[in-house]
Amino acid sequence: MWGDKRYHTLNYELRKQFGKKVMKLSLDGGFTCPNRDGTIGCRGCIFCGEEGAGEFTGSRNLSIKEQIEEQKRLLSNKWNTDKYIAYFQNFTNTYSSIEDLKKKYYEALSQDGVVGLAIATRPDCLSKDVLELLANINQKTYLWVELGLQTIHERTSNFIRRGYPLKIYNKAIQELKDKNIKIVTHLIFGLPGESREDILNSVRYVADTNTWGVKFHLLYIQKGTDLYEYYIKNPFPILSREEYISLVVDGLEMLPEEMVIHRLTGDGKKNLLYKPKWSLDKLRVLSGIDKELKRRNSCQGSRYQTKNDIK
C-alpha cells in the first residue's frame, strides 16, 4: 500500500507531496527548555542529556544558514536530492521570543532547496503568539509540529519529569488542528514500570486523537543522564529486540492508515549508549519489523477500530 512497506512511511508521504526524495536537516536553534531553565525544572526529562536530543544536529555555534549548508554536505553522499525539510530538533523550539523564532524559522526557509519546516516542541510551549506565527508559516510552506508526549500515564510522566499533565497535550493538539497545522506525536516504548498493555494504551490514545504523524522511540539508557544514574542504582527490565519489534507491530496495527510513521526506533549515540546495545543495529530492527508484519500478513491499520478526535 505504501511502496515496499506495510506502513505509511514519511518517505512515502513526502515523495507523494514533492515528487522525489526529501531529506531532513537537523538543526539546533540555540533554544533551551522550561524543564531546564528553572521555569518547570532544572534537569530536564530524566532521559535527556546535556545535549538534549541534539546528538546528531548541527552545532548551535553556527548560524542556521551555516548549519543547513553543513548538514547538506554531510548527507549529500547518502541521498541525491535537492529538496529539504529544516528540522528544528534540539530542546524546545518554540521557547523563545516571537522575534527570535520568526528570524530563525524564516532564515531556514530562505535557504536553497528548503521546502518546509519541522518544529519539535512541548505542548505547554504554544502560546497564542506562537500559534499565530505557526499558522502564518503554515500558509506559506509545508509545516509540521512535533510534540513529546511519550506516555499517557501520569505516574510515568511524573517519573520521567515530563512537566505537564495529559490535558495540556489535548489542548495543544486541538489548538494546532484548529489552525490546520500538522502534528506529530512522540511515544516511548519501555519506560520503567509500564506494562505491554500500558504502552499499547498510549498508542490507542494517540490513534484516537488522529494526529497527522507519530514517532515510536525505544527507551535507551544514555550515559550522562539522570536515567542512567537511576538505572545503576535501581535496574529495571529493558525491552529485548524481539519484544520491541512485537510491540511496534502491535502499535502499527492499531493506528489509522493515513497516520504518517516518522520513526520506528530511537537513535542513540554509540559512545554514550549504555543499554540496550542491540539498538545500535537500526537496520536489523527495521528489517525485523518488516518481517513480523509479513509473518502476520498484517499492515498498519489492520486493527484500528475507532476514529474519535479529541474534543
For each of the domains in the chain, give its residue range(s) and CATH number, in order of start: 10-296 (3.20.20.70)
Question: What is the spatial distance between Cα 72 and Cα 64, in angstroms, rounded to a whole number?
Answer: 12
Question: What is the spatial distance between Cα 283 and Cα 289, in angstroms, rounded to a whole number?
Answer: 10
Question: What is the spatial distance between Cα 129 and Cα 97, in angstroms, rounded to a whole number?
Answer: 9
Overall average pLDDT of the 9-23 stretch:
96
Question: What is the spatial distance between Cα 266 and Cα 53, in angstroms, rounded to a whole number?
Answer: 11
Question: What is the spatial distance between Cα 225 and Cα 45, in angstroms, rounded to a whole number?
Answer: 9
Instruction: Give the closest residue to 53 by CA, choosing from 16, 20, 26.
Output: 26
pLDDT digits (tens, 9 = 90+) for 178-213: 999 999 999 999 999 999 999 999 999 999 998 999
pLDDT at 58: 61
Please give the mean pLDDT across all residues of the chain.
92
pLDDT at 48: 79
pLDDT digits (tens, 9 = 90+) for 24-60: 999 999 999 888 888 888 877 888 776 545 445 567 7
Helix axes 128-138, 98-109, angle to 10 degrees: 20
